[in-house]
Amino acid sequence: MLKTGIIIAERYEILGKIGTGGMADVYKAKDHKLNRFVAVKVLKPEFREDTTFIRKFRSEAQAAAGLTHPNIVNVFDVGDDEGVYYIVMELIEGITLKEYISKKGKLSIKEATSIAIQVSMGLEAAHSHGIVHRDVKPQNIIISTDGKVKVTDFGIARAASSNTISSNVMGSVHYSSPEQVRGGYSDEKSDIYSLGITLYEMVTGRVPFDGDTTVAIAIKHLQEEMVPPSIYTEDLPYSLEQIILKCTQKSVGRRYDRMENVIADLKHSLIEPQGDFVMLTTVDNEAKTVVISDAELGEIKHTPKQNNRSSQKKLEVEQLEEETYDTDYDSYDDRDDERQTERRSSGRSSYHKSDRRRSMGRAVTILALVLGAAGLMVLIFVLGKASGLIGGEGEPKVPQQQEQPEQKEEDNMVEVPSLFGKTEAEATELARTSKLGIQMMGEKASDQEKGRICEQDIPAGTMVEAYTTLKFYVSKGVQQVTVPDTDSRTGLEAQQILEDAGFVVNVQKEYSALDDNGYCLVDPGYTYYTTPEAGTIAKSGDTITLVISRGVDYGDSAQVPDVVGWSKNEAITTLGKWIDIDVVEQRSADVPEGEVISQNPEQYSYANPDETITITVSCRDKDPVEAVPETGMESQSQGTTQTAQNQPAAGADGIWKCTQSLDTPEGYQGGAVRLELIQNVNGQPTAMQVVDNQVLTFPYQLDITGVSGVSTGELYLYEQVNGEYRELGHYNISFEKAE
């Protein structure tokens, strides 16, 4: 252990130990060359004598130093000083995801999804540089005080995996992929598996596989199926559960191919929580092993392409052929092995007689189907000829859309029915007969019976165009919730706790009562009381008034505390006496992100606490934003997705436009289309609906105004089929600043 005050490499002054791991200790240090605080990870003595490990460790750390991404803890320097091997990294003020899960039990769906998206973005950046993490777990994911999510410890797992290192040093096997615990080759898909396990833990509060020993847990990763996360979290959206299950498939060929596909589905789940868009290959665990002959395999390979999903399945078949390890743990008849051995030794010409009979029978069946289909086509042609639908040249007379008489606007309008109190099945039938589409948006607590519709976005009786999509929510029933105890919590912590419990929080501030000595009973910035009070039984969705203490009332002249160098949240709490706090973000290369650069009025001066106080906070990887008035609270919880409806995004960087052209999507049937845009804004996915319920002519010219200063986005295209929107594809699009 290094002592406080030691200087490494004549540059990094050790200020104190802030953490420890299996292979290294972590210290907070001052970089005197650049005048900034950093984190220094120092290898433990037992690994310093292993020259092979040191070489690999330095090589991997240097590769990780080439990664620069908002969701990755940046590595600044790698080196050694008189036998002390160290890595200098970005210092992040916050807690690990593991600590956060332990503190909250389990995370809200939106928060877990937002964290997973940010982790995936960091891993995608690493994978694009050829770097695989190999040790993705909540302990290696840091949530900063301003809500930014960052992945750390790139490269260390790879260096360690090639050496003889005990499992307790390598970290928890709870998050390891089957191929890792088997000791086989691991790649990007191993990170996808570990991310799936991490996401499982975020939404359920537990890991899927546990045991008394690492070996017992490893065997479960190889052989046991996990309990679906919805068993532990009843309100888990269907799409998010499917994403978790696809990430954690035991066979690498059945997982997501790339991290960017994981990100796309996670973002899609924010827009369509109950959507069935995740392509998940199911496995019959009760089935016996089936030996596929060469002829049958040839038939599979040469089956014509039917649709997008068939091509995906073909790819998965080819991937399964390439797998060299067994993923089926069911026992089967030894005679299957004997028959397989005979076939391999005797070649193709020595099929069993029963195989020949099956092949001939299959050929006869196929021939009969072909002849039947030909006869049916002749019959259709004759009937079409007689009815005039088919012209003399054999060309189908398809009425052109422009030749149809114009339909009066009033004839194309329908009345919106009331879905209130109906089941989803009843609503689907009612919408079909009313010529409307419907979409279930999620569940809400309400007085309505559980399972019945409690809210719809368009009021009953409204006249709308035919086939407009009607969105609705299903009741979870009346959820009785105990108001949590927030005593001794800061205002920010208390607000988060109450919101996580399902309440709407109304924040107010009051001066505290005094004790006999004239001191305040509750310090400024901390919870004074709530209405209703802690322990009261209330309903989810009710409004809770959270009163924050302003400390002692000194009238219109109070001394301003010094908050320069503090984190934003610490500053807001310390300035709890002030009724309004404006937070202005400003780029700074010298002050760590999230720290207060300056304040107005200045520290130790006297000012009126009923007036506004302003703090300027360092921001290095996002554009400055205008001051947002706060009452000592965050304006919204971290991890939520902001949704806008066709809102132009004019801002400090002007108007940014996308005018690309979209080709006809594969499988498009000419129905109504919905276009939805997702852009990453300051680490948070922001969704905007571009087109809704319109028939488009392709190629289609886009004219989209995006978020100011954001140059990229993902556009999702859906077509309405049988009253429901189904995704046809998504596109990476770019934005440019309009002149």
Catalytic positions, written as ranges? 135
C-alpha Rg value of the chain to the nearest Å: 31
Compute CA distances 348 → 58, 359, 378, 610, whole Å. 53, 13, 40, 90
The answer to whether the CB of 156 falls within 8 A of the CB of 22 is no
Angle at 415 between CA 411 and CA 419, to 5 degrees: 150
Q: Match 């060929």 to its residue by tokens.
A: 253
Helix (H, G, I), strand (E, B) or coil at 183: coil
Q: How far is it, in rounded angstroms, from Cα 359 to Cα 126?
A: 49
Tokens of residue 239, six digits: 């799409």
**Bridge partners of residue 505, in order along the sequence:** 544
Compute how many other C-beta atoms are within 10 angstroms of the C-beta atom of residue 658: 19
Tokens of residue 362, six digits: 């299959």
Peptide bond into 396 cis (omega under 30): no
- For the stretch 130-155, what's the b/e string if a residue is b when 16 or more beta carbons lie within 10 angstroms of its beta carbon? ebbbbbbbbbbbbbbbbbbbbbbbbb
The answer to whether the CB of 648 falls within 8 A of the CB of 711 is no
The answer to whether the CB of 677 falls within 8 A of the CB of 690 is yes
Residues 6+ apart with CB under 8 A from 525: 490, 491, 548, 549, 572, 573, 574, 575, 576, 577, 632
Residues 6+ apart with CB under 8 A from 507: 491, 495, 546, 548, 631, 632, 633
Backbone angles phi, psi at 99, to 5 degrees: -65, -40
Tokens of residue 705, six digits: 């105004």
Q: How far is it, in rounded angstroms, from Cα 270 to Cα 277?
A: 12
Compute CA distances 731 → 310, 628, 660, 678, 734, whole Å. 21, 34, 11, 11, 10
Tokens of residue 600, six digits: 């107005």
DSSP 8-state assignment for residue 592? P
Q: Match 């109190």 to its residue by tokens.
A: 421
Residue 173 region by backbone torsions, left for phi larger than 0, else alpha for psi between -120 and 50, else beta: alpha
Compute how many other C-beta atoms are within 10 angstroms of the C-beta atom of residue 464: 18
**Bridge partners of residue 612, in order along the sequence:** 580
Q: Using CA atoms in the order 84, 85, 87, 88, what is the torsion angle rounded to 10 degrees? A: 20
Compute CA distances 259 → 67, 167, 187, whole Å. 16, 27, 12
Q: Which helix (H) or strand (E) holds 356?
A: helix 353-387
Residue type, 718: Y
